[in-house]
Chains A and B, each alone.
Chain A
Amino acid sequence: MASRVGVKILFDECVSSKIAEVLDHCASRCDPPFSVHYVTDDEFGICETKWLPKRAQHGYVLVSSDMKMRSDHDIAKFAALHNAKIFLLDARVSQQHRWNLLKWLANNLTKIVSTVGSTQEGTTWIVYHDCKVTIVEPNVQTIPTTNEKRATNPDQS
Chain B
Amino acid sequence: MSSPSAEVPYSGVRYTLNGVAFLLRVPRTTIKQWANGYTTVTRGREIKKPGVLQTEREDEPTLFTFPELIELLFVKELTHPQPNEKSSSKLMRKKLGELVTIAQNLRPQLGEYPFARADFKRVGNQLVTAKLLPQPNANVVTLFDTGAGQGQTQFLTNPQTMQHLADYADELAQNLVFRDDIAAVWYPKEDHVVRLDADMRFGAPIVPSGRTVETIYNRFKLDGEDLEDTADWFGIPVEEVKAAVKFQEEWLAA
Binding site for B on A (CB under 8 A): 13-14, 16-18, 41, 43-50, 65, 67-71, 74-75, 77-78, 94-98, 139, 141, 143-153, 155-157
CB <8 Å contact, A44 and B9: no
CB <8 Å contact, A65 and B10: no
With an 8 A cutoff between CB atoms, is B8 at the interface?
A: yes
CB <8 Å contact, B234 and A16: yes
With an 8 A cutoff between CB atoms, is B199 at the interface?
A: yes
CA gap between A95 and B223 in the complex, in Å: 10
CB <8 Å contact, B13 and A75: yes
**Would A74 and B234 be within 8 Å (CB), given that A50-B9, A95-B222 are in contact?**
no
Known: A98-B223, A150-B4. 8 other contacts (CB 8 A): A13-B234, A41-B209, A69-B15, A69-B16, A78-B13, A94-B218, A146-B65, A152-B1
CA gap between A142 and B4 in the complex, in Å: 19
With an 8 A cutoff between CB atoms, is B159 at the interface?
A: no
Of the candidates B11, B16, B19, B67, the one having the most CB atoms from chain A within 10 angstroms of its own CB is: B11
With an 8 A cutoff between CB atoms, is B215 at the interface?
A: yes
With an 8 A cutoff between CB atoms, is B6 at the interface?
A: yes
Instruction: Determine the chain A residues whose CB is within 8 A of the CB of B218 once the complex forms.
Output: 94-95
CB <8 Å contact, A48 and B233: no
Instruction: Determine the chain A residues whose CB is within 8 A of the CB of B210 once the complex forms.
Output: 41, 43-46
With an 8 A cutoff between CB atoms, is B192 at the interface?
A: no
CB <8 Å contact, A71 and B14: yes
Minimum CB distance partner of B64 in chain A: A71
With an 8 A cutoff between CB atoms, is B112 at the interface?
A: yes
Instruction: Determine the chain B residues whose CB is within 8 A of the CB of A97 once the complex forms.
Output: 222-223
Cβ of A104 to closest chain B Cβ, rounded Å: 13
Of the candidates A50, A143, A146, the one having the most CB atoms from chain B within 10 angstroms of its own CB is: A146
Instruction: Determine the chain B residues whose CB is within 8 A of the CB of A150 once the complex forms.
Output: 4, 111, 180
**Would A78 and B215 be within 8 Å (CB), given that A48-B200, A98-B233, A147-B180 are in contact?**
no
Q: Among residues 162 to 221 in chain B, which have CB atoms less than 8 Å away from a CB atom of chain A?
A: 180-182, 197-204, 209-212, 214-216, 218-219
CB <8 Å contact, B12 and A69: no
Instruction: Determine the chain A residues whose CB is within 8 A of the CB of B112 once the complex forms.
Output: 149, 153
Contact of B3 among A17, A69, A78, A145 (CB under 8 A): A145
Contact of A148 among B3, B18, B182, B222 (CB under 8 A): B3
Cβ of B90 to closest chain A Cβ, rounded Å: 32
Contact of A71 among B13, B111, B211, B234 (CB under 8 A): B13
Number of chain B residues close to chain A: CB under 8 A: 54
Binding site for A on B (CB under 8 A): 1-6, 8-16, 18-19, 22-23, 59-60, 63, 65, 67, 108-112, 180-182, 197-204, 209-212, 214-216, 218-219, 222-223, 233-235
CB <8 Å contact, A151 and B2: yes
Of the candidates A13, A17, A68, the one having the most CB atoms from chain B within 10 angstroms of its own CB is: A13
**Would A78 and B235 be within 8 Å (CB), given that A45-B209, A47-B199 are in contact?**
no
**Would A148 and B11 be within 8 Å (CB), given that A47-B197, A47-B199, A98-B223 are in contact?**
no
CB <8 Å contact, B15 and A71: yes
Cβ of A32 to closest chain B Cβ, rounded Å: 29
Minimum CB distance partner of A149 in chain B: B112
CB <8 Å contact, A70 and B14: yes
Contact of A74 among B12, B111, B181, B223 (CB under 8 A): B12
Of the candidates B18, B22, B180, B219, the one having the most CB atoms from chain A within 10 angstroms of its own CB is: B219
CA gap between A8 and B130 in the complex, in Å: 61
CB <8 Å contact, B215 and A13: yes
Contact of A48 among B5, B22, B201, B214 (CB under 8 A): B201
Contact of A147 among B4, B200, B233 (CB under 8 A): B4
Cβ of A153 to closest chain B Cβ, rounded Å: 5
Query: What are 10 A-B pairs at a CB distance below 8 A?
Result: A16-B233, A17-B235, A48-B200, A48-B202, A67-B214, A68-B16, A69-B214, A98-B219, A146-B65, A151-B4
